Amino acid sequence: MNQPFVAPTFRRRAGLFDALIGELDVALNVLSGHAQAGRPYPAASCNVQADQALTDPEKQHAAALMRVNHVGEVCAQALYRGQALGCKSAPTVAVLRAAAQEETDHLAWCGQRLKELKSRPSYLNPVWYAGSFAMGLVASQLGVARSLGFMAETERQVEAHLDSHLLDLPTQDQCSRAIVLQMRDDEIKHRKTAQSHGGVALAKPIRYFMILISKFMTKTAYRI
């Protein structure tokens, strides 16, 4: 008795090309402003009507600071996803992706606050994303300890940056302040997580290089 012919099934293994397509999809989602937060908006309980008490120069300044923060979250998304793509350690990838997920919340919050202030994200976001993704890929090739050290140093610098914004924001802008405070708490947690998973201190030249890039990005994003 002849058995019916059954065609063999073939499954294509996901490779680098598939991963890159996935990353392109994430990048488009980030840059299009469609990223959605998984946690409540920190400024939901503050009185947005209080924004009417802000003078036009104060609104413009607050919006520029939140645009800088938005750029920082665009960069964080790209940086950590680039590191995760090039990393071979599953536990480290999990740490990076968990941090990137919380940075998505920050991105959405900053985007919403910019709309409330009737402002816009940086025109250079595609450039910031591409550059940060490339840096993440490079960092991933330095080994797990240094890659996590890169994450910890990034978060340490962001903490200082957010602390300066808390001092610089208009006193009556409680909505922006609530967002920045929650972001700072999350960045502290990310830094401690990276350190507890084996992140080591980076060499001084690398830290100074990161500071220079951050200053350039901050000054540019404030205006463009």
- How do residues 121-173 score in pLDDT, each as one tens digit? 999 999 998 988 898 889 888 889 999 998 999 999 999 999 999 999 998 89
Q: Dump pLDDT digits (tens) for 41-84.
A: 998 877 667 777 888 899 999 999 999 999 988 988 888 888 88
CA angle 202, 204, 207 (to 5 degrees): 70
pLDDT over 60 at 218, yes or no: yes
Sequence-separated contacts (24+) of 214-220 with Cβ below 8 Å: 214/157, 214/161, 217/68, 217/71, 217/72, 217/75, 217/128, 218/68, 218/161, 220/122, 220/124
CA distances for 219 relative to 14, 64, 83, angstroms: 41, 10, 25
CA angle 59, 61, 48 (to 5 degrees): 30
Closest CA to 80 of 3, 5, 17, 27: 27
Domain coverage including residue 94: 57-223
Alpha helices in 87-143 (DSSP H): 90-116, 125-140
Residue 118 included in any domain: yes
How many domains is the chain built from? Answer: 1
Residue 30 included in any domain: no
Q: What are the tokens at 130?
A: 């591409």
- The pLDDT score that the predictor gives to residue 111 is 93
Q: What rounded mean pLDDT belongs to the chain? A: 85
**Cβ pair 194, 173 in contact under 8 A:** no
Residue 11 included in any domain: no
Residue 189 included in any domain: yes
**Cβ pair 36, 108 in contact under 8 A:** yes
For residue 145, the tally of other CB atoms under 10 A from its CB is: 14
Q: Give this prediction's pTM.
A: 0.84
Residue 209 included in any domain: yes
pLDDT band at residue 17 using 50, 70 and 90 as cut-offs:
low
C-alpha span between 25 and 142 (Å, rounded): 26
**The domain that contains 65 carries what CATH number?**
1.20.1260.10
Of 15 and 113, which is predicted with more confidence?
113
Residue 3 included in any domain: no
pLDDT, mean of residues 8-33: 66
Q: Dump pLDDT digits (tens) for 100-129.
A: 888 889 999 999 999 999 999 999 999 998
pLDDT over 70 at 12, yes or no: no
- The pLDDT score that the predictor gives to residue 36 is 84
3-state SS class at 39: coil
pLDDT over 80 at 31, yes or no: no
Q: What are the tokens at 82?
A: 């680039």
- The pLDDT score that the predictor gives to residue 5 is 53
- The pLDDT score that the predictor gives to residue 70 is 94
CA distances for 160 relative to 53, 205, 220, angstroms: 28, 19, 18
